[in-house]
């Protein structure tokens, strides 16, 4: 089926209080795991590709596979650029056929973040592509599952500023900082639900949670009830797949060949993705506008 934009995939999520998972992929194995999960569940999914993974993926070749794969699939999908930092890579993503891009200006001063986000919105919208931006900063680096991080409360999103930022930029989704981190948590995550609810009251576009791995089912239930509509998830898939492979190698004396080993990783990504879709209360496209 044709690709969805992020805006289309999330259009009923604010009113109906559910979230769609944005699962990071950095190779064919992860891509197949995520796509097959969407196909088996019949649920929409956001395929996240981070700018830092462009090099590993060899994008020119990879995008031929991915676009062909998603177009022939019955599952509704978005191809989304995760953490785009440079103008060049965001334009490249639009050129590749992404239907959504994130511009991450979260480390810039407010005014510069607004100015650069606005410019990206103007270009992306002209090409029919959605834009996510970040205000406040979520700690830790995307794509480094080995590092342990803790949230910086001084970089949490200010609700009043969020309202202004959305009006001034015209973005389609806003990533907020309320206590999650990228990668692995150093201590128990402590989420600022009151802040999230306040942002939700002031902002009517979908809200995005980065650093989904490490939260409990109860945390996920509460963030979704408090207004989160897109949840980024990478480390959990990566760690679970590696653990599954490690277990298989240590359990068995017998010879395992490479295709079999890779399938173990792929099946694990699919299984974890399907579990997360349930937890996120993602709804089938056909049912989303009924209520």
Which residue has the closest beta carbon to Zn ion? 210
Measured in whole angstroms, how far is the alpha carbon of residue 145 from the centre of its chain? 15
123: which 2 tokens? 């270009």
- 12 DSSP assignment: T
Q: Using alpha carbons only, what angle is made at residue 102 by residues 50 and 47, rounded to the nearest 5 degrees?
A: 50
Closest to Zn ion by CB, 229 or 266: 229
Catalytic residue among 58, 68, 82, 172: 82
* Annotated catalytic residue 257: no
Nearest distance, CB of residue 210 and Zn ion, angstroms: 3
Residue 83's φ and ψ, nearest 5 degrees, are 50, 65
Residue 11, C-beta contacts closer than 8 angstroms, at least 6 positions apart? 288
Nearest distance, CB of residue 102 and Zn ion, angstroms: 8
CB 64 within 8 A of CB 56: no
Closest to Zn ion by CB, 32 or 82: 82
Nearest distance, CB of residue 142 and Zn ion, angstroms: 5
Closest to Zn ion by CB, 210 or 283: 210
Instruction: Decide: residue 161, CB within 10 A, 0-12 exposed, 13-18 middle, 19+ buried.
Output: middle
Residues that bind Zn ion (CB under 5 A): 142, 210
Taking the alpha carbons at both ends of the chain, their separation in whole angstroms is 24
Nearest distance, CB of residue 260 and Zn ion, angstroms: 33
Closest to Zn ion by CB, 196 or 285: 196
Annotated active-site positions, please? Answer: 82
């Amino acid at each position: 089926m044709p690709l969805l934009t992020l805006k289309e995939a999330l259009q009923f999520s604010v009113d109906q209080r559910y979230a769609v998972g944005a699962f990071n992929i950095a190779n064919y194995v992860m891509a197949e795991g995520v796509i097959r999960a969407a196909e088996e569940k019949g649920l929409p999914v956001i395929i996240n590709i981070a700018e830092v993974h462009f090099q590993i993926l060899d994008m020119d070749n990879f995008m031929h596979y991915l676009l062909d794969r998603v177009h022939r699939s019955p599952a509704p999908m978005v191809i989304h650029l995760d953490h785009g930092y440079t103008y060049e890579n965001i334009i490249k993503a639009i050129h590749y056929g992404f239907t959504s891009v994130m511009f991450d200006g979260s480390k810039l001063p407010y005014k510069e973040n607004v100015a650069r986000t606005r410019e990206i919105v103007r270009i992306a919208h002209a090409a029919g592509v959605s834009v996510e931006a970040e205000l406040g900063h979520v700690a830790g680096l995307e794509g480094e599952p080995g590092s342990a991080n803790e949230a910086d409360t001084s970089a949490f999103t200010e609700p009043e500023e969020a309202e202004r930022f959305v009006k001034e930029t015209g973005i389609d989704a806003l990533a907020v900082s309320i206590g999650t981190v990228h990668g692995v948590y150093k201590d128990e995550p402590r989420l600022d639900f009151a802040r999230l609810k306040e942002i939700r009251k002031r902002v009517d576009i979908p809200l995005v949670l980065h650093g989904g791995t490490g939260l409990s089912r109860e945390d996920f239930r509460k963030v979704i009830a408090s207004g989160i509509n897109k949840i980024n998830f990478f480390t959990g898939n990566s760690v679970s797949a590696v653990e599954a492979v490690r277990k298989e190698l240590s359990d068995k004396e017998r010879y395992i060949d490479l295709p079999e080993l890779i399938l173990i990783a792929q099946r694990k990504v699919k299984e974890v993705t399907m579990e997360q879709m349930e937890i996120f209360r993602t709804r089938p496209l056909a049912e989303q506008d009924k209520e």
